[in-house]
Amino acid sequence: SQQGEEDPQALSIQEGENATMNCSYKTSINNLQWYRQNSGRGLVHLILIRSNEREKHSGRLRVTLDTSKKSSSLLITASRAADTASYFCATDLTGGGNKLTFGTGTQLKVEL
């Protein structure tokens, strides 16, 4: 079963705009990781945020974590056509071993 729900399921924006994706989860976590997937194949790791962190940045990416609301958001600024992909959040659950539990994903399309 899926731990996380992502919102929206699909997002279409124009190049240069910002894209925000949200992820909610149900139980306590050690960390939360965001991944990108192109064409239904390999997952590319984007960023990891620990449960004691509230915000992290990496290039055009900004991730926030609110453990009280059990939610995270991924912001991509100044989007490019190459950002078109599916984005997944994955949680490393407390007491869950090292496995990741994935959300349902957001399909982002960036149009020229």
Partner 1 sequence: GAGVSQSPSNKVTEKGKDVELRCDPISGHTALYWYRQSLGQGLEFLIYFQGNSAPDKSGLPSDRFSAERTGGSVSTLTIQRTQQEDSAVYLCASSLWRGLAGGPEKDTQYFGPGTRLTVL
Please list the helix, strand and coil fractions of the chain in percent, rounded to the nearest 5, in that order: 5, 60, 40
**Is the Cβ–Cβ distance between 73 and 54 less than 8 Å?**
no
Figure out which of the listed residues 65, 100, 108, 110 binds partner 1, where binding follows CB under 8 A: 100
What number of chain residues touch partner 1 (CB under 8 A)?
Answer: 25
Closer Cβ to partner 1, 51 or 84, answer by number: 51
Beta strand 5-7 with 19-24 is antiparallel
Residue among 25 and 88 whose Cβ is closer to partner 1: 88
The pairing of beta strand 10-14 with beta strand 43-50: unpaired
- Residue 104 touching partner 1 (CB under 8 A): yes
Residue range at the interface with partner 1 (CB under 8 A); choices 11-19, 41-49, 63-71, 74-82: 41-49
What is the nearest approach in angstroms of partner 1 to the Cβ of residue 96?
9
Q: Are 3 and 92 in contact (CB under 8 A)?
A: no
